[in-house]
Amino acid sequence: MPSGVRTPSTSGAHAMVVDGGHGCWLRDVSGNEYLDYLMGSGPLLLGHAHPAVVEAVSQRLSKGSSYLMVNESAIELAEEVAQTVPCAEKVAFNNSGSESTFFALRMARAFTGREKTLKFEGAFHGMHDYALMSNQWTHAPGEAQGPVPNSAGIASGIGKDVVVAPWNDLETTERLLRKHGAELAAVILEPLQRTLPPAPGFLERIREVTRELGIVLIFDEVVTGYRLALGGAQEYYGVTPDLATVCKGIASGFPISILCGRADIMDHADPQRLAQGDHVRMTGTFSGNSLSCTAALATLQELRRPGTYEGLFEKGRRLMDGLTEAMNRAGIPCQVTGEPPAFQPWFSEAVVQDFRDMLKADPARSMQFTELLLDRGILKAHEKFFISTAHGEAEIDLTLEAYREVAEALAAAG
C-alpha cells in the first residue's frame, strides 16, 4: 500500500485503523470512538450502516451481486434519477466520480466534434488526466490560470486541450469562452466549487453563453448531488446543465456514480451508433451492479422523507454559525464557506470567493484546527465538514463546545 494512510489527520499521533462505524460515529481497532464529519468523504448522507440500507442490501445479496447485465434495481434506480435530477433525460451508471467526469468529457467531444474543455482553477473532478489540472492542490499556480498538471505521469499533450478559468470571475470566464468557443466541447464545473458557492448570476450567465456557443455544460455534482437537494445543486441553484455527474450522496457508501443528461448527447452511448462512427464507449464490469443500485434505492427512500433536507440544513447552519462565532470571540480571523450540508473554515482575514483567495488562508492553522478537534474525538477531513441525517442535536452541541475550546487553544498558541 504505497500511499499508506489516506490523510495526514490519521497519521503520526493520531494514526488509526478503522474498525467500523454506526450512525455518525466511527470506531478504531483500539476501541476509540470518533464523532465523524469525514463521513467517508461525503457519501454517508444517512450515516454509517443505516438499518434500511443494511437490510435492503443484505436481502439483495442472497440473489448475487454483479451480472454485467441490466437488472431490476438498475432500471428502478434509473427511473428514480430521471425523476429527481432536473437534467436527467437519460441515465448511465459507472462506479466512481472520476469515471463519470471522464465519460462526460468524452461524450461532449463526440457530440460537438471539438477537442477542448474549460475547467475552473481550484476545482476537483477526479483522477483522470484531463481532471488533474489546476485543481485545489495547485500550490504554485503562476500568474495566469493554468493548466498546471497535479500529478507526475500526465502526458504533456493533455494540457493543450484544457483551458482554465477563474471561479466566480464572470468577465474573464466569458472572455475565455468567446475566445476558445469554436474549439470548446465542454465546460465542466462544480456548482459549489469545493465549498465556494457561485456568485449571484455566475452559473446563470455561463448557462446562457455555453448554450449560445454550442458548448456542453457539465455540472460535476459528485459531491452536491442528493446532498444540497434531491435534485442536487442544479435544483438548489436553479440552473440546469446539459450533463451531470452524480455520485457520493446517493448510495450510502456503495460504489456507484451516475452520468445523466440530455438525450441527444447521452445517446452517443447507444451501440446502434457504431455504424455511424460516433458511438461513445462506456462500460465497466461492475457498472450498474445490483448491490450498489439497491443501496441507492434504499438511500433515496430515506432521503425522500419529509424534513430530511430541512434537518440537514438546520444542523449545518448551527455548526457554521457556531464555528464563526467561536473564532470571532477568540479573535481568530476565520471565514466559513459552503452550504450547510458541506462547509469548511478558512483561516484568513479576507473574504474567500475563489481559488486565489483560498491560497491566502493559513494552512498550518487549518491543520492545527483539525488536529485539535481530533484530540477531542472529532474527525474531519482537512477540507470539509460533511453533515449527515445521523448527526443529532446532542452531537451538534458537543461539536459547538469543541469549537469554543479549539478556538481558545488556537488563540493561546498565537
Give me the residues that bind ligand PLP (CB under 6 A), please.
41, 96-98, 101, 124-127, 190, 220, 222-223, 247
Does residue 34 contact residue 378 with C-beta atoms inside 8 Å?
yes
∠ CA 175-178-182, nearest 5°, is 150
- DSSP assignment letter at 279: P
User: Residue 37 or 403: which CB sits closer to ligand PLP?
Assistant: 37
Q: Which three cell numbers stand for residue 204?
A: 446563470
Tell me how far apart the alpha carbons of residues 325 and 253 are, in angstroms, rounded to a whole number.
Answer: 33
Closest CA to 300 of 240, 372, 227: 227
User: Residue 119 or 365: which CB sits closer to ligand PLP?
Assistant: 119
Does residue 317 contact residue 340 with C-beta atoms inside 8 Å?
yes
Write down the least CB distance from residue 167 to ligand PLP, Å: 13
Tell me how far apart the alpha carbons of residues 261 and 250 are, in angstroms, rounded to a whole number.
Answer: 17
Locus of grid cell 466534434? 113
Write down the least CB distance from residue 329 to ligand PLP, Å: 32
Closest CA to 133 of 156, 115, 150, 116: 150
∠ CA 292-53-37, nearest 5°, is 95
User: Residue 16 or 381: which CB sits closer to ligand PLP?
Assistant: 381
User: Residue 322 or 338: which CB sits closer to ligand PLP?
Assistant: 338
User: Residue 7 or 41: which CB sits closer to ligand PLP?
Assistant: 41
User: Residue 41 or 368: which CB sits closer to ligand PLP?
Assistant: 41
Residue 278 sits at φ, ψ, to 5 deg, of -120, 30
User: Residue 27 or 382: which CB sits closer to ligand PLP?
Assistant: 382
Tell me how far apart the alpha carbons of residues 87 and 71 are, in angstroms, rounded to a whole number.
Answer: 23
Q: Which amino acid does the sequence have at 379?
A: L
The residue at minimum Cβ distance from ligand PLP is: 97
Does residue 371 contact residue 14 with C-beta atoms inside 8 Å?
yes
Tell me how far apart the alpha carbons of residues 186 and 168 are, in angstroms, rounded to a whole number.
Answer: 18
User: Residue 190 or 395: which CB sits closer to ligand PLP?
Assistant: 190
SS3 89: coil
Write down the least CB distance from residue 135 to ligand PLP, Å: 9
Tell me how far apart the alpha carbons of residues 365 and 347 are, in angstroms, rounded to a whole number.
Answer: 7
- Strand ranges in 265-349 using DSSP code E only, listed in sequence order: 335-339, 342-346
H or E segment and range at residue 326: helix 308-330
Rounded to a whole number of angstroms, the distance between the first and last alpha carbons of the chain is: 38
Locus of grid cell 462565532? 325
Closest CA to 90 of 274, 280, 237: 280
User: Residue 101 or 365: which CB sits closer to ligand PLP?
Assistant: 101
- Preceding omega of 147 cis (within 30 degrees of 0): yes
User: Residue 23 or 97: which CB sits closer to ligand PLP?
Assistant: 97
Write down the least CB distance from residue 23 to ligand PLP, Å: 22
- DSSP assignment letter at 231: T
Tell me how far apart the alpha carbons of residues 394 and 108 are, in angstroms, rounded to a whole number.
Answer: 47
User: Residue 127 or 199: which CB sits closer to ligand PLP?
Assistant: 127
